[in-house]
Amino acid sequence: MPVKEKVGIVVSNKMQKTIVVKVESRFPHPIYAKTMTKTKKYLAHDEMGECNIGDQVLVQESRPLSKRKRWTLAKVLSKSSLIN
């Protein structure tokens, strides 16, 4: 069974070894055909603490690490131009 992967933007890195990743999905409305955007936040494990707010990251599904954390950081796709 393949491992699920999602691409998103880091919105918080204030916890130790944990980041919050915002993932957007776009889909057409079933009746009106307008493009809708749905946003969901995932808690992901960042062992080295290498992510900053605004970075684009790839996260993949893993075993449960805590009550809400079920994803791990696979790699940082692009760094943010914001200075934290």
The domain spanning residue 74 has which CATH number?
A: 2.40.50.140
Q: What is the pLDDT of residues 19-58, one digit of tens each?
A: 999 999 999 999 999 999 999 999 999 999 999 999 999 9
Tell me what pLDDT residue 84 has.
Answer: 55
CA separation (Å) from 20 to 47, 48, 60, 79? 13, 15, 13, 15
- The residue segments making up the domain with residue 23 are 5-78
As for how many domains the chain has, the answer is: 1
Q: Is residue 37 part of a domain?
A: yes
Residue 84 domain-assigned (yes or no)? no
Q: What are the φ and ψ backbone dihedral angles of 81, each rounded to 5 degrees? A: -85, -5
Residue 47 lies in a domain: yes
Any domain includes 83: no
